Structure 1
Amino acid sequence: MGLSFVVFLITGSLAIRSVIIPKESSTSYVEMIPQKSPFTLGAFTLCMRVATELTGAREIILFAYRTQYFDELNLWREKDGRLSLYLSTDPVFFQVPEFGPLQNHLCLTWNSQSGAAAIFINGRKSLTKIYQKGHTVRAGGRIILGQDPDTFLGGFEAHQSFVGDISDVNMWDSVLSDTMIQNLFNGRREQVPNVLNWETVELRQEGEVQVINVDP
């Protein structure tokens, strides 16, 4: 991207706030207001920490970025436990170990130039798949945790909602190295997120959502 960054090294847990969605609903969610505007991406790294007791025969939305007509960037846990990435078209799937009530660190990387996409769980990398080569994630959308918007900010369905704990949701407009992602899992951040920074991003709560402070 040709951008330069001030490099920080932060030790310990980076999560200052934790989003708790206590039960299945079609009304509870958090909207994230990004630092980077417009929200146009040719590459990204998206990371979060997730814990949920929802298991089996239930799809779960983990992250949704929706423009007026497209699911620009959606991350799901499918009914069979696979993770899926949607970039405005049919998804690419990743077979990963099932995660549940114990917190897991999850990262997703994608690069338009090569189409390379990969998943990291607790610092361990999946195989790389080629997906949406030459695509651009378009601007003008809204970022939602907890619901899958079938319209610009609506059309929520309770059986697709997230229930559990999400924190440390960070996003960069580049693909971080494998080592950087492994360090993030261990609580060490070397590059400040320039799209979504969990420490400073505005969170707009709706419904029965609790945002609590946790010890750093």
Structure 2
Amino acid sequence: MLAFLVISDTKCSTFPAFYFPVENIESFVEVHPLRAVSLQAFTLCFWSRAQPVGSQTVLSYSTGESDHELVVTVGTELGLWVGGHFLSFPLQQEARGWLHHCVTWCSQEGTANLWLNGAAGKAQSLQQGYVSQAGGTVLLGKARDALLGTFSNGFAGWLSRLGLWGRVLGAAEIRALALCRAQPRGDIIAWGQTPMALLGGVLLQPDTSCH
């Protein structure tokens, strides 16, 4: 059942956070991107305050050919799938508070990187020359297994200020996002503007990520 549809031109600073209850394994958000998710490069940035319950899906983009066309998970590591290929970045943070993540990938160089709270990690190689396929489904909080017709690796906790760009953001832009300064809007997913359907008990709560 469709619980809530967000189609809002609200300022990012006043838009609420999404809360995924740990006891509700059915909760997820269906995203209707602003343009096709056919990517030769991207940056995904978000604030999260996750419950410690293992690997949890933040964003999942699946197509008819690939359940893992673009997937980002958090937990003891940040996991990244592009075109079905996987790599991980260790997460040393043990804090229960909010963390700011930015994941970047560029097909031309075949490199991916994680920025945590505005600090860059060590770049890794992934899928040089690949272009992600358009026409898929974008979800927040769940990964889709089309073969089994199920959802898995649910996110539990708070998610806020998520943006997806079809380019690699510069270091100054990423640091500004982590410091809650200038907020460049994602051109594929723009927090507070992109239509999203909240399903299975996802709640809107005041956003305290930048407080």
TM-score (norm 2): 0.86
- SS at 1:91's partner residue? strand
Aligned pair partner of 1:180 in 165, 168, 173: 173
Structure 2 vs 1, CA of residues 204 and 114 (structure 1 numbering), >3 Å: closer, same or farther?
same
Question: Post-superposition, which runs of at least 4 consecutive aligned residues in structure 1 deviate over 6 A?
Answer: none
Written as runs of structure 1 = structure 2, the 5 A alignment for 1:40-79 is: 40-55=38-53, 58-70=54-66, 71-78=68-75
Match for residue 155 of structure 2?
162
Structure 2 vs 1, CA of residues 114 and 187 (structure 1 numbering), >3 Å: closer, same or farther?
same
Written as runs of structure 1 = structure 2, the 5 A alignment for 1:1-216 is: 14=13, 16-36=15-35, 38-55=36-53, 58-70=54-66, 71-78=68-75, 81-151=76-146, 154-157=149-152, 160-189=153-182, 191-214=184-207
Query: Contact 2:163–2:185 (CA<8 Å) still a contact in 1?
Result: no
Structure 2 vs 1, CA of residues 102 and 202 (structure 1 numbering), >3 Å: closer, same or farther?
same
- SS at 2:151's partner residue? coil
Deviation, structure 1 residue 212:
3.1
5+ long unaligned stretches in structure 1: 1-11
**In 2, distance between residues paired with 1:123 and 1:18?**
20
Query: Contact 1:21–1:208 (CA<8 Å) still a contact in 2?
Result: yes
- SS at 2:197's partner residue? strand
- Counterpart of 1:32, as a letter, is V
**In 2, distance between residues paired with 1:132 and 1:205?**
32
5+ long unaligned stretches in structure 2: 1-10
Query: Contact 1:48–1:169 (CA<8 Å) still a contact in 2?
Result: yes
Query: Contact 1:62–1:77 (CA<8 Å) still a contact in 2?
Result: yes
**In 2, distance between residues paired with 1:182 and 1:88?**
28
Percentage identity across aligned positions?
Answer: 26
Query: Contact 1:66–1:152 (CA<8 Å) still a contact in 2?
Result: no
**In 2, distance between residues paired with 1:189 and 1:152?**
42
Q: CA RMSD for the aligned pairs?
A: 2.2
Report Cα offsets for 1:9-40 as digits up to 9, x if no partner: xxx9736121101124431111111111x221
Deviation, structure 1 residue 101:
2.4
- Counterpart of 2:138, as a letter, is I
Deviation, structure 1 residue 99:
4.8
The answer to which of 83-92 and 122-131 deviates more is 83-92
Deviation, structure 1 residue 154:
4.2
**In 2, distance between residues paired with 1:17 and 1:190?**
15
- SS at 1:169's partner residue? strand
Query: How many residues align structurally?
Result: 198
Structure 2 vs 1, CA of residues 29 and 67 (structure 1 numbering), >3 Å: closer, same or farther?
same
Report Cα offsets for 1:132-175 as digits up to 9, x if no partner: 00001111111111111111894113xx2111000101011110
